[in-house]
């Protein structure tokens, strides 16, 4: 009969399991760190403190990831400021490069995309109104100049009355179309009353509120957590940035999910020792 004192206890197995889980979490966080996903790496390393509150490597990794986030934010600020300065100075090429780099950094994505949209509209407007590259005038302007060169004073005497008559005809036609299309309002004004259609037309319809993207992410994470998909729920919560209005709720839900994962790991039964080999003992 084996000596019970030499058998590994549940405390030893539990400590070994803790160390294995901690090492796995550290490696998983490093994978996300080197992929540039600093926020997700911090979330993975934070789970180590549920197993060891004073783990030095996890704390050092988290500080390094926070420094990387701050450095990326600083670079994004510089790129955005440089792009806006170049845009105001009229340097479209440099502004586009800097703003595109700011979008890739992800710090000021909305502001950089807005500035890029403004730059695209300005570029399109300039290209539409720019003169030809050879310095020649547009065709329509040259045609007008050529026509005015040979039209004499006698010709203008007949052209002016015709233009006045044409403008008057266009105005009368527009008034007639307006009267036909909006006859209810015209008749109400003529009779001193206001039609119901004009009163209803002044009512403004307020747009429906847009759904909150962070709230949708929280709902999906809660649903995954209730179905038991703990890892997928944590990945969903990682899409909520730290400074978001829903970040506090995401942190609470993330802590609850991590506790559930930890309890599931700790509740696993310890492996039983292998039975002795009687054949080898007889030999």
- Over residues 58-87, the pLDDT tens digits come to 999 999 999 988 888 888 788 778 878 887
- Of 242, 247, 237, 235, the closest CA to residue 217 belongs to 237
Give every residue of the chain whose pLDDT is below 70, as ranges: 1-13, 106-110, 125-161, 177-211, 266-283
**Residue 44: DSSP 8-state:** H
**CA-closest candidate to residue 23, choices 53, 60, 66, 55:** 55
User: What pTM did the predictor assign?
Assistant: 0.36
* Pick from 220, 214, 223: nearest CA to 246: 214
Distance in angstroms (rounded) separating the CA atoms of residues 34 and 107: 18
């Amino acid at each position: 009969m084996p000596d019970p004192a030499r058998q590994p206890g549940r405390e030893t197995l539990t400590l070994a399991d803790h160390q294995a889980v901690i090492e796995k979490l550290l490696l998983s966080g490093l994978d996300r760190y080197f992929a540039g996903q600093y926020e997700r790496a911090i979330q993975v390393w934070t789970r180590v403190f549920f197993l060891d509150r004073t783990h030095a490597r996890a704390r050092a990794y988290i500080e390094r990831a926070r420094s990387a986030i701050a450095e990326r934010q600083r670079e994004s600020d510089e790129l955005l400021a440089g792009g806006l300065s170049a845009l105001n100075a009229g340097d479209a090429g440099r502004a586009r490069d800097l703003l595109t780099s700011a979008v890739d950094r992800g710090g000021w994505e909305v502001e950089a995309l807005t500035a890029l949209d403004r730059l695209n509209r300005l570029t399109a407007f300039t290209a539409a109104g720019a003169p030809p590259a050879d310095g020649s005038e547009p065709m329509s302007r040259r045609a007008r100049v050529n026509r005015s060169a040979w039209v004499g004073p006698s010709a203008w005497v007949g052209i002016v009355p015709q233009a006045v008559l044409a403008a008057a005809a266009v105005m009368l036609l527009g008034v007639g179309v307006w009267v036909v299309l909006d006859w209810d309002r015209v008749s109400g004004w003529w009779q001193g009353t206001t039609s119901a259609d004009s009163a209803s037309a002044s009512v403004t319809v307020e747009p429906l509120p847009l759904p909150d993207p962070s709230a949708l992410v929280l709902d999906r994470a809660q649903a995954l957590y209730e179905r038991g998909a703990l890892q997928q729920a944590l990945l969903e919560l990682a899409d909520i940035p730290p400074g978001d209005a829903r970040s506090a709720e995401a942190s609470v839900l993330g802590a609850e999910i991590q506790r559930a994962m930890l309890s599931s790991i700790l509740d696993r039964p310890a492996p039983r020792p292998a039975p002795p080999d009687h054949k080898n003992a007889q030999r």
